[in-house]
Structure 1
Amino acid sequence: MSSWVLPGAEFDELLRSFRHRAWRWECQGTYRQPAEAEPWRRWRAGQHDDLAWLRPWLDQVASATRAGRLIARVRVYREPPTEYQLWQLDVGRANVAAGEDVRVLTESRARSLGLPAHDFWLFDEARVALMHFEDQRFAGTEIIASPGEVNQYRNWWGAACEHAVPLFVYRHDLGRRR
């Protein structure tokens, strides 16, 4: 059974309350989150970013990892990466430094593995938060808890993790190709 959860406090609670592992599948080429608009504009202009806008997330990741919980994600990158994805390669260094396991899978590889074309979080391998977007902005979450459906997401998680490369490996390889 699924239920719709509006963005905000309820979704944030999912990100705080997992026990062991929170894993994100992120497959859009661009996200238009209001908190990212000004930092992205500064990056595009070549200006310094102190990442203050990202600090709450980085602190949450660091706290979780200190407590022995894992936060990880696999980002699907277009070929070539979108401008947003190039920005995320820079910003992602802070995520990794905070303790998040960030990996990359190319879009063609994800497609060949039959991985989904929608974003989601998998919490403790027992609940899925299927993320919905409107005009590249987060619009809400559908919670999936039925074992059969969750099992499909666990299978996708396993395939993605097996084939994705760490963010810094992808950055290095991308730099050599350019």
Structure 2
Amino acid sequence: MKDVRTLQQRLQGCRRSAVHLEMRDGYMRSDSRFIAWQNGERNAPEDNDPALRPWLRLVAELVGRGVEVRRARIVSEPVSDYVEFEHHVTAANVTAGESVRWLPRPQASGIALPGNDFWLLDGGVVVFHHFDGYGELAPDDESFTDDPATVKLCESAFEAVWERAIPHEEYRPYPE
């Protein structure tokens, strides 16, 4: 029988850790929040309010149960407008309990990285995300594996990125 649990369902089942590695400079440019941000709307309630942003509620629930939630982003510099948007809205993720770090792409040289963004859940299951060339979700947008070699690669990649990356509070994606 095929496992049809969604990423959210898998995250809700986490007991110890959920780590996420992002390696693209743009995602879902069709996202209404990104479009509003491009049009100058900053600090919209849907960016910061857990009642309007389900991800924030999920992170707070996981962290409240003792699950460590970490996200690392490998980014090109100067950053894309999408990464600038991500940086702007990430403070709410941190407030919800997610630890976030940023790694400028040249500092990722020498790290063996998988070909796709992923979540590693409880150190045993990898959820890969698949995007098209425009950053939109591909028709086969997620795949799951518990293959030990793949889990080991993803764990090693994430930890190597995490060790080199800059905490969100210290990272400045654009000149001040």
Residues 13 and 68 from structure 1, CA distance in 2 versus in 1: closer, same or farther, beyond 3 angstroms?
same
Q: Which residue of 2 aligns with 1:130?
A: 128
Aligned match of 1:120 in 98, 104, 118? 118
Residues 54 and 10 from structure 1, CA distance in 2 versus in 1: closer, same or farther, beyond 3 angstroms?
same
Residues 54 and 147 from structure 1, CA distance in 2 versus in 1: closer, same or farther, beyond 3 angstroms?
farther
Q: Which residue of 2 aligns with 1:23?
A: 19
Cα deviation, 1:78-126, whole Å, max 9, x if unaligned, reads 1110000001111001000100001101111113323344201101111
Tell me the C-alpha RMSD between the 2 structures: 2.1
Residues 33 and 16 from structure 1, CA distance in 2 versus in 1: closer, same or farther, beyond 3 angstroms?
farther
The number of residues matched between the two structures is 168
Q: Which residue of 2 aligns with 1:158?
A: 159
Matched, 1:46 2:40: yes
| Greater mean deviation of Cα atoms: 111-120 or 55-64 | 111-120
For 2:41 and 2:9, how far apart are their aligned partners in 1? Answer: 33
For 2:3 and 2:52, how far apart are their aligned partners in 1? Answer: 26
Unaligned runs of 5+ in 1: none
Instruction: Judge conservation of contact 2:15–2:66 (CA < 8 Å) in 1.
Output: no
Q: If each structure's helix is expressed as a fraction of its own residues, which one has the higher value?
A: 1
Cα displacement (A) at 1:44: 1.5
| Greater mean deviation of Cα atoms: 44-53 or 10-19 | 44-53
List, as ranges, runs of 4+ consecutive aligned residues in structure 1 with deviation greater than 4 Å.
none
Give the TM-score, by structure 1 length: 0.85
Unaligned runs of 5+ in 2: none
Letter aligned with residue 83 of structure 1: D
Letter aligned with residue 145 of structure 2: I
| Greater mean deviation of Cα atoms: 105-114 or 124-133 | 105-114
For 1:86 and 1:100, how far apart are their aligned partners in 2? Answer: 18
Mapping for residues 1-178 of structure 1, pairs under 5 Å:
10-32=6-28, 37-48=31-42, 49-51=44-46, 55-134=53-132, 135-139=134-138, 140-171=141-172, 174-175=173-174, 177-178=175-176
Instruction: Judge conservation of contact 1:4–1:141 (CA < 8 Å) in 2.
Output: no
For 2:29 and 2:145, how far apart are their aligned partners in 1? Answer: 24
Letter aligned with residue 44 of structure 1: Q
Letter aligned with residue 118 of structure 1: N
For 1:86 and 1:56, how far apart are their aligned partners in 2? Answer: 21
